[in-house]
Amino acid sequence: LLKRDSGKADCSKTEGTADLICYRGSKTVFVVNGLKPSTRYTFRMQIFTHKSSSLLSDGIQIWTKPPTCKAPIIVHIENKSVILKMHAPRSNGKFKVEKMAKNARKGTKIKEDWTKVYEGTDHLVKVTQLSPNTEYAFRCKLINQNGDGGDHSGTITAKTRGYKFGIIPENAPEVFTIECTGSVVIGDLILFTERLAITNEGKLVYG
């Protein structure tokens, strides 16, 4: 059995290739060791007898799996987003990032399953559309040019920030109308009260 190494991980060219004999024998099932991850190989077979040998068969191309990357690194956390940094060997493949909500504030339902949030080549990824004050788990894996994925990395957790409820209204005189049931004189203390509520989507509502 002959194998042809493309010579470069995720390489689409055939320059610098070399035929190497990786097996001689009579077995129909065997393991080829010493291959590089995320690399395209072409295998061909030739049969030998005690009198002659056959021509080489047509080649079959096989991609090896990408290596396992490390867990993402948390760079920055906001109310509804998290910035992650991927740490993996450079190649022409892609990253696939997944998230899973682990717990949330009261009154908010979550789905405890892994969902894809990014697939591309950037090493810095901003995951958006998250819920405030919620803990998430993140993991990633590498994908080669053939679309084959490696094993998932370890997980890392991050909790998004909650909203600050200590909001001071700056336009109370423009919003509220003062109705006096009695006389108002200089020196009286007038209190402006305002009821504020924040929805699950983070929208400020005046009550």
Does the pLDDT at position 183 exceed 70? yes
Predicted structure pTM score: 0.62
Q: Which residue has the tokens 């001689």?
A: 24
Q: Judge whether 65 and 150 are in contact, CB under 8 Å.
A: yes
Reference 41, options 66, 67, 14; nearest CA is 14
Residue among 201, 141, 192 at smallest CA distance from 170: 192
72, 139 in Cβ contact below 8 A?
A: yes
CA 103 to chain centre: 19
With 80 as the cut, is the pLDDT of residue 195 above it?
Answer: no
Q: Measure the CA–CA gap between 207 and 204, rounded to whole angstroms.
A: 10
Q: What is the mean pLDDT of the chain?
A: 77
Span 120-138, pLDDT tens digits:
888 889 999 998 888 999 9
pLDDT digits (tens, 9 = 90+) for 99-108: 888 776 555 5
Q: Looking at residue 31, what is its pLDDT? A: 87
pLDDT at 193: 62
Reported as type and span, the H/E element at residue 172 is helix 172-175
List pLDDT tens digits, range 11-46: 333 444 556 888 788 888 888 888 888 888 888 888
End-to-end C-alpha distance for the chain, whole angstroms: 77
